[in-house]
Amino acid sequence: MRFSDRMGTIPEYVVARLNRAIAEARAGGIDVISLGIGDPDLPPDPRLRERLALEVQRDDAARYPTNHGQPALREAVADYYRRRFGVSLDPATEVLPLLGAKEGLAHLAAAILDPGSLSLIADPGYPVYAGGPLLAGAASMPLPLLPKNGFQPDLAAVPPEVAAQARLLIVGYPNNPTGAIATPGLFAELGAFADKHDLVLCHDHAYAEIVYEGDPAPSALADPTFRSHGIEILSLSKTYSIPGWRIAFAVGNPSVIAILQRLKTQIDSGMFPALQRTAAWLLGQTDVAGPPLATYRSRRDLACQQLQAIGMPVAPPAGGMYLWVPIPTNESSLVFAERLFAEAAVVVTPGNAYGAAGEGFVRIALTVPEDRLGEAIARIGAIL
């Protein structure tokens, strides 16, 4: 049998590899503590589950959906953006439901990039930022997010010839994996850069509601220059602890929304109608429980304290549900992560899975109870 040459350039997705290793170890009777996957362990609000159960009972729940989404859902997204971010959207042309942010990001690359073209991507960043361009046969240039810059991109460091070749630029704040928040003026700076170089912008807003101190995370679309060149992808997965439901939205520039929708009509048939109606109802509520910030904050503070005690100091992140932890040894991030798994049965994600700038770090997910989190850190300390 013969397969596509492009698949030879695409590595196995990091979460798929971790899931397989965890399953094999647990099948062998090993007590694995997984801090590697950002899968919320707390259940969603019961009313949300009740609403979905109700919508599934409709006679038309199993009918084909549309890629464009039900009008009531698009209107609910636009109303949510007006209330939450102070951003006005046209429901007809500036809102598109997605089957999760991951799907939208990958397909956006396919809609924008050609073989030989270039994407500028946050590094470290969500692995699909690089995977999407690979699937499109395009290349990516990293925008290093470094501690000394507060994990913000340095656009002045992009060579002019690279900027001229680029068609797409992707960032995300609160940032996965670093937890950094976008600095004031960043989205205006990105908009000016896109205006100068005629490229499409995308802001990944999957962790919009997980901010521990200060003002809520802003929408990139609040800046008119950014909005004139790009879109934002908002996911409900982490906000409402429903990652398996795959509910997200692309919002913003009508031309970008239209080209992404046209691509998706060839690939999927849209979101399950019962989920669309449930999401429309959810976005209109003000009392459905959002992210368990108090729980994540408590886990964050506990983990930072205990990591400090074992010689792995880390600054508490301002947002997100992860710790971005410097490696205390001379090992690479992959070797260090593999050693923790082999010797302590603790899973962390090696920093290089998020890009070259992630080398020297591992990511710890705050998605296990405090007792298991503390036990995992104690196990790590015992082998250091």
Alpha carbon distance, N-terminus to C-terminus of the chain: 47
Predicted pLDDT of residue 304: 98
Predicted pLDDT of residue 70: 97
Q: Which residue has the higher pLDDT, 67 or 155?
A: 155
Residue 66: both structure tokens together: 């549309």
pLDDT digits (tens, 9 = 90+) for 220-255: 999 999 999 999 999 999 999 999 999 999 999 999
Measure Cα distances from 228 to 160, 187, 225, 256, 317 in Å. Answer: 22, 12, 5, 10, 31
pLDDT digits (tens, 9 = 90+) for 19-64: 888 888 888 888 999 999 899 999 999 999 999 999 999 999 999 9
Mean pLDDT over 351-361 rounds to 96
pLDDT higher than 90, residue 198: yes
Give a three-class secondary structure readout of 238-252: CCCCCHHHCCEEEEE
Fold of 63-283: Aspartate Aminotransferase; domain 2 (3.40.640)
pLDDT digits (tens, 9 = 90+) for 309-331: 999 999 999 999 999 999 999 99
pTM of the model: 0.95
pLDDT digits (tens, 9 = 90+) for 269-299: 999 999 999 999 999 998 998 999 999 999 9
State what percent of residues in the chain have pLDDT above 90.
Answer: 89
Predicted pLDDT of residue 274: 98
Among 11-15, 172-176, 244-248, name the one with the lowest average pLDDT: 11-15
Domain 5-43+291-383 matches domain 63-283 at the CATH topology level: no
Does the structural domain 5-43+291-383 have CATH classification 3.20.190.10? no
**β-pair partners for 204:** 172, 233
Task: Give me the amino acid identity at 168.
Answer: L
In the chain, domain spans: 5-43+291-383, 63-283
Q: DSSP code of 147?
A: G
Residue 25: both structure tokens together: 């170890």
Cβ-proximal residues to 4 (8 Å cutoff; 6+ apart), any chain: none
Nearest to 296, CA basis, from 243, 347, 238: 238
